[in-house]
Structure 1
Amino acid sequence: MTIALDEVDRALIHALHVDGRAPFTKIGDVLGVSTQTVARRYRRLRAEASLRVVGLPDPQRAGQAEWMVRLTATPHTAQDVAHALARRADTAWIKLMSGGTEICVNVSTAAASDHSLLLRDIPRTASITAVSAHQVLHRYFGGPAAWLGRACALDPAQVAALTPAHDGAGKPLTGEDEPLMAALQRDGRASLAELAAATGWSPATVARRLADLQAGGTMFFDLEIDPATLGATTHALLWMSVAPAHSDEVARELATHAELALVAATTGPANLVAHALCADAAALHRYLTERLGALEAIRSLETAPVLRTIKAAASR
């Protein structure tokens, strides 16, 4: 059962979309409500709508190789395989698709040569009957800029007031950052004292490192929430084949569509992939036929319904 959201709830979700670590006092000032109201609404959304802020590395800026892997498993084993994959640190999100026998998993590797999941672990799993791996070449939308369906409650001035500064200067992740990133994946709003305890650093050192990584775009704070709470009950992955001469133009157009939470260029027969979130099946049909249908450069389209998200952006 989904919870009913009012204007304050939606504004808070939008505020956390803009800056997941914004202090409740600042959010309250921008929304025109008390700090206590913000804190109370946040706790309710965490408990009843699975809301969670997570800190994640940007794969492109962090020097990671990112893959979209499609697996087909034998009947009655797909969920077990998906849950096993969810326990791995190198998987970012996992979706059970189509008839319940197909799994799509996002895999990030620390280096381009580290493909243990693709080359060793998956081939050893007898219940997997088919595998196709597609390297993500470029993200046009998704990650630091996520689904616009949750970002429609604040006006431009409020968004500007909450937007953190970014200088664009790369601050690479190092091995010393692993405890910090692990703690932020568990709770992106963990206090400086909690992060200091997890890393062994002082709170001041944690604050400086967070500022460096976030300002350079090496890491970002994402917001997880059950999309059904915001009215999106029908999800699908869209695999599109677009003529190379038009793929950049089409992807940039798709990145403006409020129905999409991800747009990326990949290797393989389908060179663009998108994740659609729609109110219902009829809304998805209208999106496919009216908006995507108007883009003549899309030569073919495969729609893979998402039945269940097994793992979201980070390990729980």
Structure 2
Amino acid sequence: MGSDTYDALDRQLVHALQLAPRAAFSRLAAVLGVSDQTVARRYGRLRGAGLVRVLGLSDPERLGEARWQLRVRCTPDSAGAVAAALARREDTVWVSLNSGGTEIACSTRTPPDRSDHSLLLQHLPRTPSVSSVTAHCVLHTFFGGAQSLAVKSGALTAGQVAALTEAGPRPAEPGGPAVQLDRTDLRLLAVLAVDGRAPLAELAAACGKSETTVRRRLDELAGSGALYFDLDVDWRIFGLRTHTWLWLNVVPSELAAAGAALAEHPEVAYACATTGPSNLHAVVITRGARELYGYLTTRVAALRGVQHVETAPTIRIVKGPGPRPLQAPRDI
């Protein structure tokens, strides 16, 4: 689809789904001021084209898992194959080819009962075509997870946002003991990770439980923060085409303030503090290179304590936030 096939209603629907991912079409329609059939048709078109997916995902922080941001440099002829292999792993998300196709960026998560970090310490360094691996442990997330660029888009009015969020779950308080998942939870999450809007009957059948039990467990998992909903979106719906990974070196005394400021920038889709030579990482999405230049020379340049900035443009996204590689990797 070309960019001229997306309109304001498409963007409003994406924004609404970010705020109320499992809301009935009737509720979404009432807020958007259109018919139920129109919402169902628009959603079916966007989802069928692979432009929008609602995903129910487990939060690694609430499960006590370690998160890493990897930068893997490869020979040019092998980067695509290595990226595809990384995307097939269950412990990776957001696998992309960056910087001319010689660098792979990806995020990993390691359960608390598996501390060997085999992907980091064994498999990747032994891959002949891999020339280097840089691993940054994620210490704190400033923006991401259940929040996406959709909430910064302004597609919905303040009144529409309030109507969709007034009865929504409250964010879980940070900290506290890790949430323990049982086999039923894992089956539930497996279905939601593919389709966050899967009907209650389908979830109940997958878990072998009643719909009442499954509904209650959904509320418990969401209330604890172990379950959150995210969108995998082709941001060209909003006219955004340029994806760039940023790595910033910030003096420690200014790290928290710089991260909080990044989280407010409309261009920032993800921001976190990490270990390593660069201690602040962000993913930025802009309309094009001109807008990226403007962003780097204004908002980023104004951040206090930034000593160095490295940019890595993305040329292809192989895997998004869900557990499966994208069927058709997105060229940027």
Does the aligned pair in 2 maintain the 1:97–1:304 contact within 8 Å? Answer: yes
Return the offset for 1:210.
Answer: 0.8
What is the one-letter code of the residue matched to 1:129?
S
Partner of 1:74: 75
What is the one-letter code of the residue matched to 1:2?
G
Does the aligned pair in 1 maintain the 2:258–2:304 contact within 8 Å? Answer: no
What is the one-letter code of the residue matched to 1:236?
T
Aligned pair count reads 316
Does the aligned pair in 2 maintain the 1:138–1:265 contact within 8 Å? Answer: yes
Partner of 1:99: 100
Correspondence 1:124-273 to 2 at 5 A: 124-148=126-150, 151-163=153-165, 164-166=168-170, 168=172, 172-176=179-183, 177-273=185-281
Deviations 1:39-80 (A, max 9, x none): 001001112352100011122122111000110111211010
Does 62-71 or 103-112 show the bigger shift? 103-112
CA–CA separation in structure 1 for the residues paired with 2:182 and 2:50: 34
Q: Structure 1 residues 23 and 151 mapped into 2: Cα distance closer, same or farther (>3 Å)?
A: farther
Deviations 1:121-166 (A, max 9, x none): 2123211110010000000001111124764211222212212122
Does the aligned pair in 2 maintain the 1:148–1:259 contact within 8 Å? Answer: no
Return the offset for 1:167.
Answer: 6.1
Partner of 1:41: 42
What is the one-letter code of the residue matched to 2:292?
L
CA–CA separation in structure 1 for the residues paired with 2:116 and 2:188: 22
What is the one-letter code of the residue matched to 2:87?
A
What is the one-letter code of the residue matched to 2:53?
R
Does the aligned pair in 2 maintain the 1:149–1:258 contact within 8 Å? Answer: no
Q: Unaligned 5+ residue runs, structure 2?
A: 325-332
TM score, norm. by length of structure 1: 0.96
Q: Give runs of ≥4 in structure 1 deviating > 6 Å.
A: none
Does the aligned pair in 2 maintain the 1:13–1:151 contact within 8 Å? Answer: no
RMSD of the alignment, in Å?
A: 1.6
Identical counterparts, % of pairs:
47
Q: Secondary structure of the residue that 1:275 maps to in structure 2?
A: strand
Deviations 1:242-290 (A, max 9, x none): 0000000111111100000001000011100000000000000000001
Does the aligned pair in 1 maintain the 2:18–2:150 contact within 8 Å? Answer: no
Partner of 1:2: 2
TM score, norm. by length of structure 2: 0.91
Partner of 2:327: none
CA–CA separation in structure 1 for the residues paired with 2:304 and 2:180: 41
Return the offset for 1:10.
Answer: 1.4
CA–CA separation in structure 1 for the residues paired with 2:11 and 2:152: 8
